[in-house]
Structures are given as C-alpha cells and as structure tokens.
C-alpha cells in the first residue's frame, strides 16, 4: 500500500510527524512539489531536526528519500541540509527534471512583498518553469550559477527519479508521498492569489513524480484548530485570548521564516472542501493537546455570505466577506499528552473529535497529543 499525506488547511498541520511515523512502513519517501518554503520539525530522542527539502523519512535508517521533478530546489539549502543530517546519506535521490532555484529568483522575490511569501525564490522559479525559461538539474547550465563545491557535492544525488519510482512500483515496494504546504495554498484550489505556486493537492503528486500508484491511501492532515502564516483571508481567525493561547501553547512560529502564525478555530467548511478536492480516505488530526485549558471551544460549521449559506467562494472579496457560523462546545482542562488510546481520552475531547468527524465526513484515524514521536493515538 502506498500512502499520500496532504495538508487540508494552510500548512503547518504537522504532516512531517505523520510522515516520520508512517515512513517506518514504506520503503520510499517522496517530496513532489514546493521547495524549501516547507518546513518540518521532527523530534527524535529529544533532538530537533528542521527539514525543508529532504523528506522527513531520512531520519529512519534504510529509507530511500526522493526529491522528485515537481519540486523546485535551491542547491545551497539542499547541501546544508544533507550536511546537517546525523549521518551521511547515499539514500537521497534528486530528480534531474527538478527545476533549480537560482540566486536571481530569490532577488526577484524580494521585490514582491504583498503576498507574505517565504522569500525562498519559489514563485519566480515556478514562473520560469511555466514560461519555459527555467533551468533543470539535467541542463548543463545549472553548474554556472553555483560554486564548484556545491555542484561537486550534489552531482552524485541527481538521477531520473521517475524511473526509480516506476521500478519501485513494479517491485511492489511501498511509497510514501509527503505533501508540502496544503490544499488552501494550492495554486488552483487555494485562496488565490494568497497561495503558493504549486499544486499542493493530490494532482500535484502525479505531475510531480510521473508515476501513477494503483493502490494509494490518501490521508488528509488537519490541525485541531487553524493557523495561517503570511497574508490572505482566514475566516475563523481569533486575535483574542483563545488565539493567543493556541499561538503560545502550540508554539506557532513558522519553521522556515520564524514568523508568528495567525491562529483561529477549526473550520469544518474549509476542511471539508479540502477533503473533497483530495478525495481523502481518512484524516489525521494533530495538536489536539494544544486546546487543553480553554473553557469553550468553537467550530465553524457554515459560512454566510449576504445572509446565504456558502461553501468556500472562489472570489477573494467574497471569501473576505463570509461570516463564519460557529457551534460552541465545552472544552477540557486535562493534560492529554500521555493518553495512548481514544477511549482513554476525557469525554469532552472525544466529543470534540466525534463532532469534527461528523462535520467533515471522514474518519479521524490518527490523533496527535504532543510533540514527541510517540505522542500520537492510532484509531485504525
């Protein structure tokens, strides 16, 4: 069985931790879109690893990690990341069809400030890709832009990853696909133009790898509340006490830029929309422990636009004018971070999870209750 992990909100749902957990059962772990705008923090034996490009599975021995053609790669960042790993790895494969982020892409992006991007050159690199003036690792020209030590270091990792993955499929070796960013940041389906420049939803997996796995389980990842980093509409944002609680307890700072993440209530309208786009099989609900200590919780169950019920509107102004309708539910004060099974969770916690499941119409099979590798309740 192959598995895809896709974010259902605006990113930072804790996908990396789930990838790290599930990578145990897969031979290959693949990044298929985005670039070093992503960021995962994985805690292993109390040590934190920050990864931007290399799939989180690299922290498990024997796993093969692929950066496929849909990713845009800054060679300097990749070299540093490989060098900072606990051991040196021949298990990384970089697609020769992946586009190279050049110094000029980063310079260009610094002039485009209003979208609140991560300034990693992602947008300009994808712009050149689509306008057919980009440079890929298979193009000899890429070496002209970087110091020879970077070129020398990366060259052995570059290969035809499509072929590698196709052969893996034929040998029935299992593949885990690690989505970066999330569906609400998808260039087609997200809150355009406040989005990233790639297809973060399931379609990006196919174009971004060149393979078509037959048996694929799609797990959508959603935080038990909502966060967004950067500009753009965010209907359930809470700038009051509850939002500050989520920000502080959840340590909501961007892994890539260090920016404070905006926080707010769980938006079931948004998560249902994203679940449909990806055709998810199940949901992993993360950071539920962060809500401990709040007296009342709110879940957005509807949007109203000019008094009428609405799903996520395409038009940005309409989305900005949508009024979220909430249902209120009692919170809990217990520390749930050591709970190992769903039935051992306090009653109000189970009620919260059950209600989300009902609203989004998908089974919640994983529940994150803390930062460590083992702080995840499995319900499957």
Identify whether the C-beta of residue 224 lies closer than 8 Å to the C-beta of residue 364. Answer: no
The yes or no reply on residue 275 touching ligand IMP (CB under 6 A) is no
Choices 16-24, 177-185, 311-319, 351-359; region in contact with ligand IMP by CB under 6 A: 177-185
Nearest CB to ligand IMP, comparing residues 238 and 252: 252
* Catalytic-residue membership of 289: no
202-205-210 Cα angle (round to 5): 145
The yes or no reply on residue 247 touching ligand IMP (CB under 6 A) is no
Could you tell me how far CA 33 lies from the centroid of its own chain?
Answer: 10
Among 185, 246, 291, 294, binds ligand IMP (CB under 6 A): 185
The yes or no reply on residue 286 touching ligand IMP (CB under 6 A) is no
The yes or no reply on residue 117 touching ligand IMP (CB under 6 A) is yes
CB of 5 to ligand IMP, least distance (A): 13
Nearest CB to ligand IMP, comparing residues 12 and 289: 12
* Catalytic-residue membership of 189: no
Could you tell me how far CA 167 lies from the centroid of its own chain?
Answer: 26
Among 2, 3, 4, 11, binds ligand IMP (CB under 6 A): 11
The yes or no reply on residue 209 touching ligand IMP (CB under 6 A) is no
For 81, the token pair is 């990341």
Residue for token digits 């790669």?
A: 73
CB of 214 to ligand IMP, least distance (A): 29
Identify whether the C-beta of residue 216 lies closer than 8 Å to the C-beta of residue 206. Answer: no
The yes or no reply on residue 199 touching ligand IMP (CB under 6 A) is no
Residue for token digits 């990806």?
A: 278
The yes or no reply on residue 123 touching ligand IMP (CB under 6 A) is yes
The yes or no reply on residue 196 touching ligand IMP (CB under 6 A) is yes
CB of 334 to ligand IMP, least distance (A): 30
Among 3, 56, 118, 286, binds ligand IMP (CB under 6 A): 118
Nearest CB to ligand IMP, comparing residues 320 and 341: 320
Strands (DSSP E) contained in the chain are 2-7, 28-31, 40-44, 47-51, 64-67, 72-73, 92-95, 99-100, 158-159, 175-178, 216-223, 226-228, 262-264, 266-267, 282-286, 296-305, 308-310, 323-330, 364-368, 376-378
Give the CA-trace dihedral at 117, 119, 125, 128, to 10 degrees: 70
Contacts of 257 (CB under 8 A, 6+ apart): 118, 119, 229
The yes or no reply on residue 14 touching ligand IMP (CB under 6 A) is no
Residue number with the smallest Cβ distance to ligand IMP: 230
| 320-356 burial: b if 16+ Cβ within 10 Å, else e | ebbebeeeeeebbeeebeebeebeebeebbeebbebb
CB of 184 to ligand IMP, least distance (A): 9
The yes or no reply on residue 36 touching ligand IMP (CB under 6 A) is no
Identify whether the C-beta of residue 66 lies closer than 8 Å to the C-beta of residue 161. Answer: yes
List the catalytic residue out of 20, 25, 26, 40. 40
The yes or no reply on residue 230 touching ligand IMP (CB under 6 A) is yes
The yes or no reply on residue 229 touching ligand IMP (CB under 6 A) is yes
The yes or no reply on residue 116 touching ligand IMP (CB under 6 A) is yes
Neighbours of 365 (CB within 10 A): 18
Q: Which helix (H) or strand (E) holds 78?
A: helix 75-83
Residue for token digits 């060149």?
A: 210
The yes or no reply on residue 158 touching ligand IMP (CB under 6 A) is no
Among 18, 19, 38, 277, binds ligand IMP (CB under 6 A): 38
The yes or no reply on residue 200 touching ligand IMP (CB under 6 A) is no
The yes or no reply on residue 81 touching ligand IMP (CB under 6 A) is no
* Interface residue list for ligand IMP (CB under 6 A): 10-12, 37-39, 115-118, 120, 122-123, 180-181, 185, 194, 196-197, 229-230
Active site residues: 12, 40
């Amino acid at each position: 069985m192959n598995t895809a992990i896709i974010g259902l909100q605006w990113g930072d749902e804790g996908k990396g931790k789930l990838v790290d957990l599930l990578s145990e059962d897969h031979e290959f772990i693949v990044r298929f879109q985005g670039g070093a705008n992503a960021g995962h923090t994985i805690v292993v034996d109390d040590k934190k690893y920050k990864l931007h490009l290399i799939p989180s599975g690299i922290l498990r021995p024997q796993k093969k990690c692929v950066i496929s053609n849909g990713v845009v790669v800054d060679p300097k960042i990749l070299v540093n990341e490989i060098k900072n790993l606990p051991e040196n790895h021949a298990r990384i494969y970089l697609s020769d069809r992946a586009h190279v982020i050049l110094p000029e892409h980063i310079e260009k992006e610094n002039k485009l400030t209003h979208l609140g991007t991560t300034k990693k050159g992602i947008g300009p690199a994808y712009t050149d890709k689509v306008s057919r003036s980009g440079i890929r690792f298979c193009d000899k020209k890429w070496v002209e832009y970087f110091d020879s030590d970077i070129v020398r270091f990366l060259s052995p990792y570059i290969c035809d990853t499509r072929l590698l993955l196709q052969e893996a499929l034929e040998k029935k070796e299992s593949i885990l696909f690690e989505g970066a960013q999330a569906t609400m940041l998808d260039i087609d389906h997200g809150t355009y133009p406040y989005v990233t420049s790639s297809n973060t939803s399931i379609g990006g997996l196919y174009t971004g790898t060149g393979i078509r796995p037959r048996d694929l389980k799609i797990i959508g990842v959603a935080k038990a509340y909502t966060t967004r980093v950067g500009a753009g509409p965010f209907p359930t944002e809470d700038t009051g006490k509850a939002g500050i609680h989520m920000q502080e307890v959840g340590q909501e700072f961007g892994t890539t830029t260090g920016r404070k993440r905006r926080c707010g209530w769980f938006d079931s309208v948004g998560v249902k929309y994203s679940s449909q786009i990806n055709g998810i099989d199940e949901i992993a609900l993360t950071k539920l422990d962060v809500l401990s200590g709040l007296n009342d919780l709110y879940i957005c169950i509807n949007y109203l636009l000019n008094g009428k019920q609405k799903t996520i509107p395409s038009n940005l102004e309409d989305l900005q004018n949508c009024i979220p309708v909430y249902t209120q539910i009692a919170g809990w004060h217990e520390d749930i971070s050591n709970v190992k099974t769903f039935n051992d969770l306090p009653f109000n916690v189970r009620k919260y999870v059950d209600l989300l499941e009902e609203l989004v119409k998908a089974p919640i099979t994983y529940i994150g209750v803390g930062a460590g590798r083992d702080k995840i309740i499995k319900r499957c």
